[in-house]
Amino acid sequence: MFGQNWGVCMVYGENIEAALRAALGEPTFKQALFLSCDARYVAYGGARGGGKSHAVRAKATYLGYEHPGIRMLLVRRTFPELRENHTSRLLDAYERLPASIRPRYSDSDKVFLFPGGARLKLGYCDSEDDVRQYLGQEYDVLFIDEATQLSETQFRWLNACVRGAGPYPKRTYITCNPGGVGHAWVKRLFIDLDYRPGEDPADYAFIRARVWDNAPLFAGDAGYLKAMQALKKENLSEEERVRRAMDSADYVKQLKSLSPELKRAWLDGDWDVFSGQFFAEFSRDVHVCEPFEIPRGWRCSAALDYGLDMLAVLWFAVSPDGRAYCYRSLERRDMTVAMAAKAILSAGPEEVCEYIAPPDLWNRRQDTGLSAAEIFAEHGVPLVKAGNRRIDGWLAVKEYLRADGGEPRLKIFSTCTPLLRALPLLQHEPKRPGDAATRPHDVTHSTDALRYWCSRRQEAPLPARDEVREAFAPRKPRGDMEEYLMGGYGGM
């Protein structure tokens, strides 16, 4: 859009707006709002069929003619998606423009070059490493189509490219649907309006669009056209006839036939549910409770996931009737094993009967010849191996969360913020049914610790009290550490 009201662009000494309208089509009302919005960050969509990709192509095209010299980057997750949704469609649209003002496309560089010098680069960003191809580059405007398919880390790296001293607007435009690895960060910024220090609420704008807002989508829909013809016989206003016909459209019927969760996400644009959610059974009303003092005699244990990027620890207490409570949750970044052990031991005064950890912590390090498990034990945190079967572990977690109209076997204190943040955001792994995805990585640490604990509880009972005392008895020096780790407490 030129200016705020689709004004006339005279950059090339001629009025090209009519030509652009003919090539791109008239925008819908919601698309026009998107095209005219001048917020620093603009999100468009919320449901399927709202005309998101077309809005991005139109915005990039109008900016390319309005600002000669502007540099723009348009990103989708994969190159095939980029080619199908944007490259081919932009080429088709630009073929309808007069040759004198038609952008030229370089297939080798994946760049559209506008007559006045503006550039539109087309890119992809499937993995975390793909963002490296954009390091050091500068763009005035960034477009991310289907931004919820990208992690927040990918978004931050890409957005860092929006800079430079040129006299052009600095903008980031995204389109989005509920679901995907980026669901959490998009929802936080544009739906929940939950801003962190340094984030100015005035910089963010969200334009909600659903299938009902995209009239051009229905032009070729057989169900819609048939319904429109049949409704001519009824005494209805044109507005009511269109509304009813839209309900009969084949595309709308397809969305309505989905599961209740997908219908809410894809048809209604409900951000509280989304496709791919791994723990659909998790409910804050059912699984979260307020903290209370753990009674004496309840068995306490802990589970951890450790890497240099993150230490995640969960503490559990089990009542005499077998009900479990996760009463403490800890996440700390950039910690050595010694620092991690100290953080674990200083977290609480209660006696913990076992610390459950993933098997990879028993791998020996090339630099020291010691495993992380040995170093943890040396610093007062002897570890017990968790099960290594991911799918079985997730099934164990689901068993603990299963309520079936009653009380679940596991409740989580409301103060366990890292776990409560991560649980509802964990995704299904598309290529491995029954497994959880490892992206976004920042929601896998505490959830993995939960999996280790639940899988251990399913496989082996907790030790008796005399075994607990023996486990914490003084041990032999490090020369016999191997015997202790492999043959001592924990049954390894």
410-455 pLDDT tens trace: 999 999 989 988 888 888 888 888 999 988 888 899 999 999 999 9
Q: What angle do CA 402, 406, 409 make, to 5 degrees?
A: 45
pLDDT at 470: 39
DSSP run (H or E) holding 122: strand 119-124
In which residue ranges of the chain is CATH 3.30.420.280 found?
284-487
Residues 40 and 171: beta-carbon distance below 8 Å:
yes
Judge contact between 169 and 147, C-beta under 8 A. no
Confidence band of 488 (pLDDT split at 50, 70, 90): very low
Instruction: Round to whole Å and give the CA distance between 62 and 20.
Output: 8
Region 378-407 average pLDDT: 92
Buried (b) or exposed (e) across 48-82, using 16+ Cβ within 10 A? bbbbbbbbbbbbbbbbbbbbeebbbbbbbbeeebb
Confidence of residue 275 (pLDDT cuts 50, 70, 90): low
46-76 per-position pLDDT tens digit: 899 999 999 999 999 999 999 999 999 999 9
For 232-336, where are the alpha helices, taking DSSP H only?
Answer: 238-247, 250-256, 260-262, 284-287
The C-alpha atoms of residue 358 and residue 388 are separated, in whole angstroms, by 7
Higher-confidence residue of 171 and 459: namely 171
pLDDT at 301 over 70: yes
Of the listed ranges 75-79, 130-134, 168-172, the least confidently predicted one is 130-134
Residue type, 401: L
pLDDT of residue 277: 80
Task: Give me the amino acid identity at 212.
Answer: W
Question: In angstroms, how far is CA 415 from the centroid of its own chain?
Answer: 23
CA dihedral sign of residues 328, 332, 337, 339: negative
pLDDT at 11 over 50: no
- The predicted-structure confidence for 199-258, as pLDDT tens digits, reads as follows 999 999 999 999 999 999 999 999 999 999 999 888 899 999 999 999 999 999 999 998
CB atoms within 10 A of CB 383: 27
Question: How many other CB atoms are found less than 10 A from the CB of residue 449?
Answer: 31
**Percentage of the residues of the chain whose pLDDT score is greater than 70:** 89
Tokens of 408: 């679940």
CATH architecture of 284-487: 2-Layer Sandwich (3.30)
pLDDT of residue 184: 83
pLDDT over threshold 50, residue 347: yes
Whether 485 shows a pLDDT value over 80: the answer reads: no
Dmax over CA atoms of the chain, in Å, equals 92
Contact 140, 117 (CB under 8 A): no
233 CB-side CA count, 13 A? 4
Average pLDDT over residues 175-199: 88
Domain with CATH 3.40.50.300 in the chain: 17-213
pLDDT of residue 69: 93
Quote the strand ranges of 359-456, DSSP E: 383-385, 410-413
CATH architecture of 17-213: 3-Layer(aba) Sandwich (3.40)
Strand partners, 162: 139
Burial of 10 (0-12, 13-18, 19+ CB in 10 A): exposed
What's the chain's average pLDDT? 86
Collect all residues with Cβ–Cβ distance below 8 Å to 136 and sequence separation of at least 6. Answer: none
Report the C-alpha gap between 453 and 393 in whole angstroms: 9
Q: Is the confidence at residue 458, as pLDDT, over 60?
A: no
CA torsion angle for 392, 398, 400, 403 (degrees, to 10)? -150
Tell whether the model's pLDDT for residue 465 goes beyond 70.
no
Asked if the peptide bond before residue 440 counts as cis, ω within 30 degrees of 0, the response is yes
| Residues 297 and 353 sit within 8 Å (Cβ to Cβ) | no
Assess contact for 289 and 413: CB atoms under 8 A.
yes
Q: Could you tell me the CA-to-CA distances from 99 to 92, 114, 170 in Å, in that order?
A: 13, 12, 29
Contact of 125 with 131, CB cutoff 8 Å: yes
**Which one has a higher pLDDT value, 388 or 414?**
414
Give the residue-averaged pLDDT of 158-166.
91
Task: Give residue 484's pLDDT.
Answer: 34
